[in-house]
Amino acid sequence: MSEVTEVDVVEEEPTYGSSPMDLIRKRHQELVEDDSITLPIEPYDGMLHVKYKMLDIQHDVAAINARVTKESKNPIQQAFLGALDTMSRACVEIFFNRAAPGEEPDLVPLSENFGPDEPPVRYDIRLGEFLGLSGDQLEKMKVRGVILHLFGGKEPLVLAHSRQLTGWFTGQSEEAAETLEGEM
């Protein structure tokens, strides 16, 4: 009589050699779980990161589109204002990276600089304070101005960051996101 031996079953992640259904199920689960992304603010060499949430097309994107088309008839200006408003609406929190360049990020909420139990810092007046703005300059600044100030007043840097965010929203590469933005 032969002896029955127990075999450890190791579940492996599906690979391209797996069945099509396994691959589709894995990708579907990734899509379901993919509700936020943290992107570095490139001009800060990885020191600042922003966590973004997925936006609702019916509510958020429609409101942004309505606002910018009301404010400007210029398509280029509309695209820039839309990028600023999208970044603002999707922003969950801004972080400082304590890790050395090249190391795995060690993100700390920027709100810790304002004291314990503070709400998350987003693209708001507190970020302006953190960046050294004060008095009348800070009082007159709107969220769009704070974002532009964060990027050193350089619109192309804002647009490059916005393209990364748009690429994540659409599940496409940055190049495809550039094409999509041009069609908006």
Find the helix or strand (DSSP H, E) in which 177 lies. Answer: helix 174-183
Query: 18 vs 29, 102, 158, CA distance in Å?
Result: 16, 34, 41
Q: Compute the average pLDDT of residues 169-173.
A: 75
Domain count, the chain: 1
Structural domain includes residue 20: no
Instruction: Measure CA 17 to chain center.
Output: 33
- List the alpha helices (DSSP H) in 6-154: 20-33, 62-71, 75-90, 125-130, 135-140, 143-150
Residue 183 reports pLDDT greater than 50 = no
- Would you say residue 40 lies in a domain? yes
More confident of the two residues 62 and 8 = 62
65-81 confidence digits (pLDDT tens): 999 999 999 999 999 99
Considering the domain boundaries, does residue 4 fall inside one?
no
| CB contact set of 90 (below 8 Å; sequence gap of 6+) | 52, 53, 54, 55, 60, 165
11 pLDDT exceeds 60?
no
Q: 50 has which bridge partners?
A: 39, 94
Give the closest residue to 64 by CA, choosing from 148, 140, 162, 150. Answer: 162
| 138 found inside a domain | yes
Q: State the average pLDDT over residues 144-164.
A: 95
Asked whether residue 31 is domain-assigned, the answer is no
Report if residue 74 sits inside a domain.
yes
| pLDDT band per the 50, 70, 90 thresholds, residue 148 | very high
Neighbours of 108 (CB within 10 A): 13
Average pLDDT, the chain: 83
Determine the structural domain holding residue 173 and report its residue range: 36-183
**Banded pLDDT at 12 (limits 50, 70, 90):** low
Distance CA 152, CA 73 (A): 26
Q: Would you place residue 7 in the very low, low, confident or very high pLDDT band (cuts 50, 70, 90)?
A: low
- CA torsion 11-13-17-19 (nearest 10°) is 70
The pLDDT value given to residue 57: 81
